[in-house]
Amino acid sequence: MKRLRTANEEKEEIGIFMGITKTVKLNVNELDSVGDVKALLYDKEGMPKLVDYGICKNSTLHAVVEDTAPVITLFVRRSYPEDIIIVYSKSYDTIQDVKFWIAAKQGTNIGEFSLIHDGKFLDEDKPLSFLKIGDGSVLRMVLNRNDKFLIFVITRTHGIIQIEVKATICVRDVKIVIESKVGYSVHNMDLFMGEPKLDDQKELYQYEIKEECFLKLLKA
């Protein structure tokens, strides 16, 4: 409710800054409330209505929500050529979003590669927050493959670990999957299936590696 003034109250002039474009002068009393000032401002300037912006029946308005999610930095490691790709993302971005940015940087197609974290291939429709991938996380990039299956790798530091692979990935890429699981580089180590050492350049199907096969990881 607007406060009533008495006849003997002295008025003084103050300036109200409207945004960055206009200053409005009002006659107020030091006992006036903020509500009084707002009422005076309304009386003098009026308030914008929908019609003032040309908004009429059946108009469409767009609501814009400010994005306050922090930027997170991801480090994507690839083995050939060996380097690190830096991707700036948001926690709500999906793996497919991350792949699109990588593909744009590398001039490739998202169907040509997959991303791995913690020894698992990442589902493209899952957001980073769901997969618990945060700032500073390291992802592994390997060439695209077909059907996935599980194999076991015998290591000296972590015992027997289970990893997810595909028949058409290279032995070199299997090492990358292992690295994402154990947390350290195995670049200077070799994989064996029984006695034969596996060639880094060959694909798993060439060694007839199938579901639940056992490999050994040994220092070269």
User: Tens digits of per-residue pLDDT, 15-74?
Assistant: 544 444 557 778 888 777 777 777 777 677 666 666 667 777 787 877 766 677 889 999
Tokens encoding 34: 């903020």
Asked if 176 and 104 sit in the same domain, the reply is: yes
Asked if 87 and 114 sit in the same domain, the reply is: yes
Asked if 32 and 75 sit in the same domain, the reply is: no
170, 112 Cβ separation under 8 angstroms = no
Asked if 122 and 208 sit in the same domain, the reply is: yes
Asked if 201 and 125 sit in the same domain, the reply is: yes
202, 173 Cβ separation under 8 angstroms = no
Question: Using CA atoms, how far apart are residues 33 and 113, in angstroms rounded to an integer?
Answer: 65
Asked if 35 and 50 sit in the same domain, the reply is: yes
Tokens encoding 1: 């409710």
Asked if 79 and 48 sit in the same domain, the reply is: no
Asked if 77 and 157 sit in the same domain, the reply is: yes
> Which one of 43, 64, 85 terminates a domain?
64
The mean predicted confidence, pLDDT, of the chain is: 82
In this structure, what CATH number is given to the domain that contains residue 187?
Answer: 3.10.20.90
pLDDT tens per residue, range 159-195: 999 998 888 788 998 998 999 889 888 988 999 998 8
Asked if 57 and 163 sit in the same domain, the reply is: no
Within its chain, how far is the Cα of 147 from the centroid? 26
Asked if 60 and 97 sit in the same domain, the reply is: no
Asked if 50 and 92 sit in the same domain, the reply is: no
> Which one of 10, 30, 64 terminates a domain?
64
Hey, is 120 helix, strand or coil? strand
Count how many domains the chain has.
2
pLDDT tens per residue, range 120-157: 889 999 999 999 999 999 998 877 655 678 999 999 88
Asked if 43 and 99 sit in the same domain, the reply is: no
169, 126 Cβ separation under 8 angstroms = no
State residue 4 phi and psi, 5-degree precision: -80, 140
> Which one of 64, 80, 95 terminates a domain?
64
- Residue ranges making up the domain that contains 206: 71-219
Per-residue pLDDT, 19: 42
